[in-house]
Structure 1
Amino acid sequence: MLLLLLISSAFVLPWAGAGRIIGGNEVVPHSRPYMAYLKIQVTNNTGTFHSYCGGFLIRPDAVLSAAHCVAKNGTVNVTVILGAHNIRVQEQSQQRIRVRNFVVHPNYDPDGHVNDIALLKLDTNATINANVQTITLPRHNEGVQVATECEVAGWGRTSLGNNRTNVMMEVVLKVQNDTLCLQQFRKYRRQSMICVGDENGTKGTCHGDSGGPLICNQKAHGIVSRRPSGLLFPAAFTRVSHFVPWIPQQLRRFALQELPASPSSQ
């Protein structure tokens, strides 16, 4: 895999959000059945724009992702693709489901990607099978020890240039001491973020993998969120365990909105 480490920061957005798998490997097809590919369409007074992100299935009707993937100006329509390996092919394993509604954390701050989490309600339940499954979430405020090896997967670019992959890639990254991210990011928050990365700076995430899960000890402990401009290390991921109380609250709200007589549906 081509790895371009020397690149001007002029080619990278200053906030360097969203991720690409760099320095990783292709996963065994369908070995990450919780992974979701988000096709995002935004329409506003300047036109229609398309982007993509990652996400992960936490319930047959719900996907978690990053707030910065869907918090856009204009009308946002999202389609979730589950059970995919090669995203450019209409694989029989794939399930394409429209997102009926989504909620961005009310305290999301795009300047620093604080509270960078969004919950997406699917229009219909996913069919759970060998290729499509949910992933376990951590307990409220459950921590991950420094030096723990975690996995991140996605369909983003494979270099800091413009190289994209059609198949799901994966990289192994370690949980780092929060001090590294406190020094790097002005708005790093210990309680709601996890500091992650490869000390050698040769692998990591950037555009296109945003919203995908950081899997530690077989649980989705993080969400791909941000990294330094032009660099791979360290990266700040959303800490899922901090938001565990918020997630079921939103799922209950979605359920109330589906009741015809519910005031929430007005």
Structure 2
Amino acid sequence: MLLLLLLTNAFVLLPWAGAGRIIGGCVAKPHSRPYMAYLEIQTGSQTSRCGGFLIRPDTVLSAAHCVDKEGAVRVTVILGAHNISAQEQSQQKIPVGQWVIHPEYSSAGTKNDIVLLKVCLKQRAMINNNVQCISIAKENERVEEGAECSVSGWGQISVTGQRSDVLMEVELKVQNEQICEQVFHNYQCQSMICVGDAYSKKSPYKGDSGGPLVCNKKAHGIASYVHTYNLFPEVFTRISYFEPWIRKQLRRFALQDTPGSPFSE
């Protein structure tokens, strides 16, 4: 599911056409993860795909590298989906009005890989049993080594297989920071989380970029990248580190929605 882009000896979990699935995972119970978002990114004639998750009725959190592209980019969010190829009544397809990439995002080393996407004001998400928001980790709230967490997304059944149309999920364990420091030259423990190990043979993959690392029913990470030649471990953006910036952007979004505001749509 997570699409991997070769970059400084690491694959960014990017979403291209034919994006993948979760390695070693299983099919999720339909609509058991109502916060999940499926992102369609249109750049010219090319369509790529990513994951994301709803944190407010008008806001989806994802990975910056998903939308960091040259030329005009259009992003559409699909909420309430289980089978992304079917026309399910539960689905809500909403265009993204704008997005904010972290100002210190760098594709070199995939640092600060986080983006907030604001859906169009008139088509914000309708919260129901199939579409719900998920809480995010607060500043200074860290997930500990050994914690059991989950990742979900749409995509391949193997490295070379076809992508899955239904939502897949996998359980992963948070690893010691030193493991990722040894594998990834640009790993930063303050802003990243080291997840997954070779023994479990489980990993997010092509097209899963931007999906949440969920621990104790709270989003702690954003799927970012893995090593070029080894799918284990994986690097996730640490949400708690960016929580103050996220809150600042959410306040800005709220101001935009105020009638008469110079920032309103």
- Once the two structures are TM-superposed, the CA of residue 263 in structure 1 deviates from its matched residue by 4.3
How many Å separate the matches in 2 of 1:238 and 1:12? 16
1:239–1:257 CA distance, 2 compared to 1 (3 A): same
Partner of 1:173: 172
> C-alpha deviations, 1:101-126, integer Å up to 9, x for none?
10100000111111000000011221
Partner of 1:222: 221
How many Å separate the matches in 2 of 1:111 and 1:156? 25
- Once the two structures are TM-superposed, the CA of residue 16 in structure 1 deviates from its matched residue by 1.0
> C-alpha deviations, 1:186-241, integer Å up to 9, x for none?
11111100000133151101210000000011100000000011321111100001
Is residue 36 from structure 1 mapped to residue 37 from structure 2 by the alignment? yes
Is residue 16 from structure 1 mapped to residue 8 from structure 2 by the alignment? no
- Retained in 2: the 8 A contact 1:201–1:232? no
Q: How does 1:10-159 map to 2 (within 5 A)?
A: 13-14=6-7, 15-18=10-13, 20-43=21-44, 48-123=45-120, 124-159=123-158
Q: What amino acid is the match of 1:136?
A: S
Q: What amino acid is the match of 1:23?
A: G
CA-atom RMSD in angstroms: 1.7
Structure 1: where are the runs of 5+ without partners?
Answer: 1-10
How many Å separate the matches in 2 of 1:67 and 1:222? 13
> C-alpha deviations, 1:65-98, integer Å up to 9, x for none?
0000011111111110000000000000101111
How many Å separate the matches in 1 of 2:247 and 2:155? 29
How many Å separate the matches in 1 of 2:255 and 2:118? 12
How many Å separate the matches in 1 of 2:27 and 2:40? 21
Q: How does 1:195-206 map to 2 (within 5 A)?
A: 195-200=194-199, 202-206=201-205
> What TM-score results when the alignment is normalised by the length of structure 1?
0.90
Q: What amino acid is the match of 1:13?
A: L
Partner of 1:3: none
Q: Number of aligned pairs? A: 252
- Retained in 1: the 8 A contact 2:5–2:12? no
Structure 1 range deviating more: 18-27 or 255-264: 255-264
How many Å separate the matches in 1 of 2:54 and 2:73? 20
Q: What amino acid is the match of 2:31?
A: H
Aligned identity (percent) is 58
How many Å separate the matches in 2 of 1:259 and 1:148? 41
Structure 1 range deviating more: 155-164 or 92-101: 155-164
Partner of 2:253: 254
- Once the two structures are TM-superposed, the CA of residue 12 in structure 1 deviates from its matched residue by 7.0
> C-alpha deviations, 1:28-67, integer Å up to 9, x for none?
1000000000011013xxxx21100000000011000000
> What TM-score results when the alignment is normalised by the length of structure 2?
0.90
Alignment partner of 2:11: what SS? coil
Alignment partner of 1:245: what SS? helix
Q: What amino acid is the match of 1:217?
A: N
Alignment partner of 1:252: what SS? helix
Partner of 1:5: none
- Once the two structures are TM-superposed, the CA of residue 264 in structure 1 deviates from its matched residue by 4.2
